[in-house]
Each structure stands twice: as structure tokens, then as C-alpha cells.
């Protein structure tokens, strides 16, 4: 059966109100504690939920799915947890790129790459190149990502353009800022889902989320399924977004 999002895509084409869903995948550690396991087991189970989210997004006909996998601040976690997460990421990239490519999914990674190991950066580069021509859905992974870091980088590039005379300060507009962010050419998220019960952005897409809707399903990330994705989408489609312009 077609989901409401698919119906919406069929009926309105590009005018579909739900093009981009972003997810703050939170609660792996609490899941592990609840099951009497090490945090690393929660992260491993969380990787299975990533597969569920991607399937859910593809089934719903979403154009962009962004997954917050590792924040700038997550580098401050204990070294063994950071290395577990990096090892898991490597494993994920090794195992899943072929399947993402087969499904027609384009991969894009946003975030600061200079703190990642050279082998991970090379895997990401190769995966992005391999999948660049795919058009079914774009999967954006936010890795070593922090929105304030992204904004600082954008301000630096705009300041350089001004200093070199390529741009006048009075000409800087919102689109210039959007284009200077790592998310350039990606539409703003329509919906951000955060699991685990926390209701905060944790330095995720601060500029891009100006008019984003939010969904806080009451579950921990490793328990997330494609049915939960569909439920969040269906709830979103029943909402009325006003963007400040309509009463």
C-alpha cells in the first residue's frame, strides 16, 4: 500500500511538502544499559536501525535522508568509545556501500574530515564518487559534524570573498550563507526526528532548521524501525506549516 508520502509525491510531484527528513539517532548507550550490555553493543544495534531508517525513507519516497552519526562534541567521549564508533563506521562503509549503490542511493558526508583517519576519509571519498550519479535518494551522513563549526567555516569563506573583493558585505544574502554551508545544494530539512526522549538539537543543522517540524518518538535509537519512520512521516503530513506568512 502506498504511504501518504508516496501518494503525495505522485499527486504533487516536486511540490511534495516532505523532501528531506533528518534524524538525530540518539539512545544507543541507554539501550545497552537497559539490556545489561556494553555501550558498544548499543552502537552495533544502532547500525541495524540505520538500515531500517534508510528502507523507511526509500519506501516513503523521501528525496533526502540525513543521519546525525557523530557530532563535533562526540570527540570528547572516552577514547575507547570513540574508537569503537570509528571501527563500526568503517565496517558499515565496507559492508553497505555496494547495497546503497544497488538501491540507487547517492551518499554524501558532511562534517569536518580532518579529524577522521585517512582510511575512513578515503572510503568516504570513494563511496561518494561511486554513488554520485544515483538519483533515487540522497543519504547524507553527518559525521564529525557540528552546526556552529559549519557556520564558522561558512563565515570564514564569505569573509575571504569580501577581503579579496569578490563580494560586497551589503550584497551578502541568505542564499549565500546557505551555499557556504556543508549542506550547500541540499534543501532544508522538513522534518527532524530525534529518538531517546531528548528534545534538543545538540548542534545539528541550526541554520537549516529555521522552519523544520520536529518529531520525538518515545524510543531508543536501536529499537527504531521503518514503521516508526512511516509513523513520523504520516504525522508530519497531517501538520500545517505556516512559515510565519499565513494566519
The catalytic residues are: 26, 74
Question: What is the closest distance, in whole angstroms, from the C-beta atom of residue 232 to Mg ion in the complex?
Answer: 19
Q: Please tell me the distance from the alpha carbon of residue 144 to that of residue 160, in angstroms, as a whole number.
A: 24
Report if residue 90 touches ligand IPE, rule: CB under 6 A: no
Instruction: Cell numbers for 171, please give them.
Output: 550584497
Residue 30 contact among Mg ion, ligand IPE, none, beta carbon within 5 to 8 Å by kind: ligand IPE
Report if residue 26 touches Mg ion, rule: CB under 5 A: yes
Report if residue 50 touches ligand IPE, rule: CB under 6 A: no
Report if residue 150 touches Mg ion, rule: CB under 5 A: no
Closest CA to 75 of 146, 153, 148: 146
Of 21-29, 131-139, 143-151, 163-171, which part binds Mg ion (CB under 5 A)?
21-29
Report if residue 229 touches ligand IPE, rule: CB under 6 A: no
The interface with ligand IPE within residues 208-227 (CB under 6 A) comprises: 221
Count of residues near ligand IPE by CB under 6 A: 18
Report if residue 110 touches ligand IPE, rule: CB under 6 A: no
Choose between 19 and 196: whose C-beta lies nearer to ligand IPE: 196
Choose between 26 and 228: whose C-beta lies nearer to Mg ion: 26
Residue 182 contact among Mg ion, ligand IPE, none, beta carbon within 5 to 8 Å by kind: none
Q: Please tell me the distance from the alpha carbon of residue 88 to that of residue 47, in angstroms, as a whole number.
A: 8
Of 28-36, 133-141, 175-183, 233-241, which part binds ligand IPE (CB under 6 A)?
28-36
Residue 68 contact among Mg ion, ligand IPE, none, beta carbon within 5 to 8 Å by kind: ligand IPE
Q: Which residues bind ligand IPE (CB under 6 A)?
A: 24-30, 68-71, 74, 85, 196, 198, 200, 202, 221
Q: Which residues bind Mg ion (CB under 5 A)?
A: 26
Amino acid at each position: 500500500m502506498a504511504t501518504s508520502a508516496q501518494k503525495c509525491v505522485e499527486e504533487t510531484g516536486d511540490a511534495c511538502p516532505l523532501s528531506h527528513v533528518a534524524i538525530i539517532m540518539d539512545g544507543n548507550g541507554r539501550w545497552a544499559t537497559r539490556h545489561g550490555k556494553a555501550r558498544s553493543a548499543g552502537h552495533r544495534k544502532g547500525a541495524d536501525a540505520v538500515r531500517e531508517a534508510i528502507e523507511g525513507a526509500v519506501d516513503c519516497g523521501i528525496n533526502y535522508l540525513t543521519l546525525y552519526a557523530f557530532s563535533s562534541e562526540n570527540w570528547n567521549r572516552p577514547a575507547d568509545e570513540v574508537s569503537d564508533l570509528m571501527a563500526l563506521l568503517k565496517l558499515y562503509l565496507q559492508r553497505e556501500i555496494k547495497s546503497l549503490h544497488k538501491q540507487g542511493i547517492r551518499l554524501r558526508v558532511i562534517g569536518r574530515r580532518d579529524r577522521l583517519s585517512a582510511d575512513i576519509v578515503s572510503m568516504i571519498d570513494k563511496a561518494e564518487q561511486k554513488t554520485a550519479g544515483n538519483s533515487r535518494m540522497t543519504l547524507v551522513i553527518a559525521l564529525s559534524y557540528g552546526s556552529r563549526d559549519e557556520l564558522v567555516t561558512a563565515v570564514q569563506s564569505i569573509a575571504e570573498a569580501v577581503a579579496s573583493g569578490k563580494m560586497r558585505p551589503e550584497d551578502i544574502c541568505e542564499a549565500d550563507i546557505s551555499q557556504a554551508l556543508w549542506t550547500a545544494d541540499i534543501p532544508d530539512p522538513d522534518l527532524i526526528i530525534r529518538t531517546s526522549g531528548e528534545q534538543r538539537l545538540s548542534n545539528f543543522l541550526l541554520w537549516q532548521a529555521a522552519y523544520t517540524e520536529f518529531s520525538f518518538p518515545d524510543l531508543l535509537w536501536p529499537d527504531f524501525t521503518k514503521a516508526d519512520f512511516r509513523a513520523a512521516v504520516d504525522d508530519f503530513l497531517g501538520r500545517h506549516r505556516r512559515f510565519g506568512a499565513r494566519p
